[in-house]
Amino acid sequence: MQLLCRFDTPDYDEWKKTFDADAEDRMNAGLTLLQLWRDADTPSAALALFEVNDRKRAQAWIEKETGFGHALTADFLKPAL
């Protein structure tokens, strides 16, 4: 299972520093970063694709991040048949 997250931030460079510093927390939530993109139409926004090793822990991480007031949307994905 994978998780696609969109982060809307007013300052991408500051967000990226915080995102990089949060790598261990994401790892503890069972998330492995597969790809990180910047939105071509909204340069301050970023999209991240994660491999999910534990959906319950990943969901808890999402709730924690949004609880801190981070502008985050998240969708769990599974392969289409």
**Residue 60 CB partners (closer than 8 Å, separation 6+):** 29
CATH number attached to the domain at 2-77: 3.30.70.600
Q: What is the pLDDT of residue 69?
A: 66
Q: What is the pLDDT of residue 67?
A: 77
Task: Give me the residue spans of the domains in the chain.
Answer: 2-77
Across-strand partners of 61? none
Per run of 10 residues, the mean pLDDT along the chain (length 81 residues) is: 95 92 96 96 94 97 83 93 80
* 8 A C-beta contact, residue 28 and residue 60: no
Q: Quick check: pTM over 0.85? A: yes
